[in-house]
Amino acid sequence: MKKQEDREALLLEFQEKIGYFYNNKKLLEEALTHSSYANESGLLFYNERLEFLGDSVLELIASEMLYKEFQDLDEGKLTRLRSQLVCQNSLKNWAEEVGLNKLIKLGKSLIKDGPSQSVEADTAEAILGSVFLDGGYASASRIIIDFLKKQKNNASIYAIDPKTTLQQATQSKNGSVPYYKTVERKGPDHSLKFRVQVTLNEKILAEAWGNTIKEAEFKAAEEALKNI
């Protein structure tokens, strides 16, 4: 009984963290059930079908968000950006952040080591699929957009070209473009370092040091992307 009560408390905490409370609790349990647990327990349901659905919903909503936010990026850059936003590591991190990793039902052979990164990521997609079925597109979209915005804090996402990405983001939001200014140089001639500020409408977004002006500009753009 105590174990069941603990799980119920964790399930409630999980729903509070994602900001969504299920109408059909069976969908939630299905999303949390790994095939290894289903096989050992004789269950007819497990989360792979929901994972399939969630993967498609996640890709659609991520595509819609990027299409609207980066209106001048071509198809190739949008695809690469989407891939980095919804990669396995991002999903795994989200699963752990919301406590999903503590709720996955695993078979005995997997319990000792706990869920792998891929299992956590797959379960995250199953959760998104289950929310889509339980609450519709709007509910799934709200959770996914919140997840995607958090991934934008990872500067490596913008490795394709942080300056271009920053410009597209600022133009999309307010029609303005960022301005880069070298504000300091230091060190001997053979080993100069440069400090660059990036501003938008005369407001400093970020600054960074680099071994070249270009490197400093890229680093400043990466920092600025975390703050917009």
Q: Say whether 211 sits in a helix, a strand or coil.
A: coil
Catalytic, 125? Answer yes
In the sheet that holds 193-200, the strands lie side by side as 179-186, 193-200, 203-210
Alpha carbons 223 and 219: distance in angstroms, whole number: 6
Q: Say whether 187 sits in a helix, a strand or coil.
A: coil
Among 30, 51, 55, 222, the active-site one is 55
194 - beta bridge partners? 185, 210
Whether residue 104 contacts residue 124, with contact meaning beta carbons closer than 8 Å, is answered with no
Phi, psi dihedrals of residue 208, rounded to the nearest 5°: -160, 155
The per-residue b/e assignment along 74-113, b for 16 or more CB within 10 angstroms, e otherwise, is eeebbeebbebbbeeebbbbbbeebbbbbbbbbeeebeee
Among 30, 122, 125, 207, the active-site one is 125
Q: Which residues are catalytic?
A: 55, 125
